[in-house]
Amino acid sequence: MTTESGSDSEAKQQQQREESTEAPKENPKAAEPASSQSQLEQLPAAVGHSTPARKEQETQEEDQESRQSSSSRLSRSPLKGVKSVKIMQCKVTLLDGSDYTLNVEKRVKGHVLFDKVCDHLNLLEKDYFGITYRDVEKQKNWLDPNKDLKKQIRTGPWNFAFNVKFYPPDPAQLTEDITRYYLCLQLRDDVVSGRLPCSFATHTVLGSYTVQSELGDYDPEELGSDYISELRFAPNQTKELEEKVMELHKTYKGMTPAEAEMHFLENAKKLSMYGVDLHHAKDSEGVEIMLGVCASGLLIYRDRLRINRFAWPKILKISYKRTNFYIKIRPGEFEQFESTIGFKLPNHRAAKRLWKVCVEHHTFFRLVCPEVPPKKFITLGSKFRYSGRTQAQTRRASSQIIRPAPFFERSASKRYNMSRSLDGAPITENHETLMKDSDSAARGDIITTVTTEKKAEEEKAEREDARAETTEAAAGTTTPLRQEAKTDSEQTDFAFDGDITATEDTDPPTEMVKHQTNISELKRSFLETDGGVPGLTEWERRLSSSPARSPRTDEPPMIEPLDLQDEEDEEPARDETKLELKATEAAEYLLNCAADSPLADGAPPTGPQGISPSATMDDDVFAAEEKTLESQDDLSEKSVAKLSPGSVREEVSQAITDKRGTLIILKEAEVETEGKEEVEKLLMTKMEALLEDASQVKGSPKKAMASWVSEVARAEESEACRVLPEEMTKTFEQSKPDVAQITLSETAPLAVSTLGWVSSSVTSEKASADLEQKKLVAMEIDAAPEACPHTEGEVVCTKETPVVHTETKTITYESAVSDMNGDADPGVLLSAQTITSETNSTTTTTHITKTVKGGISETRIEKRIVITGDSEIDHDEALAQAIKEAKEQHPDMSVTKVVVHKETEITPEEGED
């Protein structure tokens, strides 16, 4: 029942008048409890549940529907007399089970309520949280912060609940204890309600930390012997469980509440259902299944068994239509085309709810910044976007929190009490000062040491039916049923990882589809060829050639990262703390692969685990999303790479053993526009200088060696976002977009006998997307499918025509994640220029292209350095240096691709070096 505090009939009428005249979007009926009720009655009964278990307090909430209490009204008082502003009383059930009642203006959007609640909770890291409400079917929905409250709460009282929306995969990375405390509260409820199943042992462990956090040290005199049974730890709590909890509790003496919560979270996060939002569905054969949305993707369960999993990068598009929910899957290893998998949801609303939750999770965990909703006046598909901060952004923001750790009271949460005896006697704890000290230190580490999370680089694009959207807007005036009929489908494309955006309205060019296919093949071939081949495999070669290790027999066993293509997403999102928050796009990715040659390079020396777990993340780690020019068909440019500078250095230094030419494409991403040209020039100069140095040091030129470095720098300005492409076109000259290709053809002139391979690197970071790096595009020349066979030949494909022995090697290091934007917006080329400079042994060609796409200007620098010489020039050193220097000089840019192309004339005596 809608309650309008301070309202009178006059105001009501006025409100109605306003609403009816305001816009077609308004729903005059929404303000009328009576008609809302009748709507409610017309609606079908609830068919499905979005979560398997329901919250206790929310049931209560519904029970109390019309009995709004005005207790603890902390916010503004009803504005009587101000007739144009209607105040609504909202009751928000907080995570500790208490209700918080507050008033908001009726016309405000969801975020106003959310912000007020967060203020009340003294919560700064609020992006992980959200507000839920029950719809007419009593299903839990997330309040859309950008939509009017009144349009979301069409019927019933304004009752809400505050909940965790995105469960951080690594709670230790949260900045504040208070945030972790709220997360704990949510998880406790998840556990007690059964949504988060756990074993007996886990119940005892989690329970014991709960007790420590809430009650402090074990103290039989103060607590009594039965204190434990007042708390709830499990859906079915037994005496045995309570005893075990108590046993553990006794061992925690001196542990602060914050520490206890940290331990709680460290255990809870490992549970397989942690943060999994389950939705009932049926598969195409009508079998009951559950769809679980989580940070890493979509999980499919049948009963308790996981029967499938689709990581976000594997999903190209999600959509729903009527009661069906669809995901379009990237082609599998043995398939050529994408497949679409459909699930039947209990009803339309459930389908839409699932779709929204997917869009939001994908954006939050996978992207660096939310996608800007299409500004075009006609678009297909939904305008719905997750508009909050992404995890990457919120981490960045959180790292700037400088307030002293706030004091907050950990109350013995009411809802865990079986008896009411503790009501009104909340247990407080006084360890705040202690906590502050110990924890802030720990946190400092945590923040700067970037560990694994999902990286969030790819772009999500979603298409939307403009018509549907209009209807949805208009649907305010209709009953929910009608709305359902009209907005019965929406879809979201995820265009990332080098793949196409297959929207219904803009089909990708066939070439691109081909590319995609070949990339998958490529990856497959990598996966397949390794291991099974008895001879030297990629890994063996890599390991054996690693300079750090001597005789081959001492090598650790060849261990491969077991990656599937979807594993690309395991790349952590790294917060670029140096960047200003406003520059949402300024996060960077730098990804690059280690040089890889059969003899002289190597993965980082590794232990038996094969991949050394890298803890090499520097403080400035790069995370970014790339917006490249769709107009350029150079595949390489469509990729994003990620790596920490530390890793780059490491890998490059490994590449140093490769004394052959190098072809490098560096892509520097996202510089703020100001001074970017300078930056580029500096960079260019620097690299030239370095290469010169290198050649001087290493001796005189000898054989045909080619190396180039191309950097692509991309810049964007926040202002530019609003400038139309046309306006910016005037500035610069046009030139060929595919710079990289030119060079390559040059570098492979007289390969009579070609020994070509491309291999991928193993990054030192275990959790990083090795596969991305495997996803190489070998011969950049046209990035066409023809190149791929070469790439597949990472088991060295040789074509012998022994006249002139020339070895040509091309190694491309690039991010596998191609950054084609979902919008398939080709962008407008603003300028392109080529600068060439020469020294004795090196020729450096720099191409700078500037484009504007979707209001974002992008500068790309590609640098090609050809080194010719007959001595062993240490190109790799030069390259390593150059990259390093470049990174240091331009922390805002990232190197996204490095192609090393080497051509060596082999004299018979030398054999293959």
Binding interface with another protein (CB under 8 A): 197-202, 205, 208, 248, 251, 263, 266-267, 270-272, 294, 296, 302-309, 311, 333, 527-528, 530-532, 534, 553-564, 566-567, 570, 607-611, 766-767
- CA-to-CA dists, residue 778 to 661, 744, 782, 787, 816, angstroms: 16, 11, 10, 6, 12
Name which of 311 and 640 has its Cβ closer to another protein.
Answer: 311
Minimum Å gap between C-beta 785 and another protein is 23
Distance, in Å, from the CA atom of 23 to the CA atom of 473, rounded to the nearest integer, reads 10
Name which of 643 and 666 has its Cβ closer to another protein.
Answer: 643
SS3 for 844?
strand
Distance, in Å, from the CA atom of 483 to the CA atom of 478, rounded to the nearest integer, reads 6
Distance, in Å, from the CA atom of 776 to the CA atom of 810, rounded to the nearest integer, reads 10
- CA-to-CA dists, residue 777 to 190, 431, 746, 814, 837, angstroms: 45, 56, 17, 8, 28
Distance, in Å, from the CA atom of 557 to the CA atom of 552, rounded to the nearest integer, reads 10
Minimum Å gap between C-beta 290 and another protein is 13
- The DSSP 8-state label assigned to residue 603 in this structure reads S
Minimum Å gap between C-beta 216 and another protein is 17
Name which of 125 and 567 has its Cβ closer to another protein.
Answer: 567
Minimum Å gap between C-beta 318 and another protein is 18
- The DSSP 8-state label assigned to residue 311 in this structure reads E
745 contacts 783 by C-beta, under 8 angstroms: no
Q: Print burial letters for 773-800: b (CB count within 10 Å at least 16), e (below 16).
A: bbbbbbbbbbbbeebbbbbbbbbeeeee
691 contacts 844 by C-beta, under 8 angstroms: yes
Distance, in Å, from the CA atom of 314 to the CA atom of 192, rounded to the nearest integer, reads 33
Name which of 271 and 281 has its Cβ closer to another protein.
Answer: 271
Minimum Å gap between C-beta 284 and another protein is 18
Name which of 33 and 194 has its Cβ closer to another protein.
Answer: 194
Minimum Å gap between C-beta 547 and another protein is 18
Name which of 200 and 337 has its Cβ closer to another protein.
Answer: 200
Name which of 222 and 240 has its Cβ closer to another protein.
Answer: 240
Residues 6+ apart with CB under 8 A from 641: 589, 590, 591, 592, 593, 667, 772, 773, 813, 814, 815, 816, 817, 894, 895, 896, 897
The H or E element containing residue 308 is strand 305-311
Name which of 248 and 830 has its Cβ closer to another protein.
Answer: 248
Minimum Å gap between C-beta 540 and another protein is 9
Distance, in Å, from the CA atom of 177 to the CA atom of 404, rounded to the nearest integer, reads 11
CA atoms within 13 A on the CB side of 15: 23
Name which of 73 and 309 has its Cβ closer to another protein.
Answer: 309
Name which of 474 and 603 has its Cβ closer to another protein.
Answer: 603
Minimum Å gap between C-beta 561 and another protein is 5
Residues 6+ apart with CB under 8 A from 24: 473, 474, 477
Name which of 97 and 171 has its Cβ closer to another protein.
Answer: 171
Minimum Å gap between C-beta 497 and another protein is 15
Strands 99-105 and 87-93: antiparallel
SS3 for 19?
helix
Phi, psi dihedrals of residue 343, rounded to the nearest 5°: -130, 145
Distance, in Å, from the CA atom of 302 to the CA atom of 282, rounded to the nearest integer, reads 10
Residues 6+ apart with CB under 8 A from 739: 634, 710, 832, 834, 847, 849, 862, 864
Name which of 168 and 561 has its Cβ closer to another protein.
Answer: 561
**Residue whose structure tokens are 């549940």:** 49
Distance, in Å, from the CA atom of 743 to the CA atom of 207, rounded to the nearest integer, reads 63
Distance, in Å, from the CA atom of 149 to the CA atom of 790, rounded to the nearest integer, reads 57
Distance, in Å, from the CA atom of 502 to the CA atom of 380, rounded to the nearest integer, reads 13
Minimum Å gap between C-beta 556 and another protein is 5
Name which of 647 and 851 has its Cβ closer to another protein.
Answer: 647
Minimum Å gap between C-beta 210 and another protein is 13
Minimum Å gap between C-beta 592 and another protein is 20
Residues 6+ apart with CB under 8 A from 705: 660, 661, 867, 868, 869, 873, 875, 902, 903, 904
Structure tokens at 639: 């990729």
Name which of 557 and 749 has its Cβ closer to another protein.
Answer: 557
Distance, in Å, from the CA atom of 148 to the CA atom of 820, rounded to the nearest integer, reads 33
Name which of 194 and 826 has its Cβ closer to another protein.
Answer: 194
Minimum Å gap between C-beta 199 and another protein is 5
3-state secondary structure 636-670: HHHEECCCCHHHHHHHHHHHCCCCCCCEEEEEEEE
Strands 87-93 and 159-164: parallel
Name which of 131 and 527 has its Cβ closer to another protein.
Answer: 527
Minimum Å gap between C-beta 538 and another protein is 12
Rounded (10°) CA dihedral 674, 680, 686, 689: -140
Minimum Å gap between C-beta 319 and another protein is 22
**Residue whose structure tokens are 């589809």:** 513
Minimum Å gap between C-beta 554 and another protein is 7
Minimum Å gap between C-beta 846 and another protein is 38
Name which of 201 and 724 has its Cβ closer to another protein.
Answer: 201
Name which of 613 and 749 has its Cβ closer to another protein.
Answer: 613
Minimum Å gap between C-beta 201 and another protein is 6
Distance, in Å, from the CA atom of 824 to the CA atom of 329, rounded to the nearest integer, reads 19
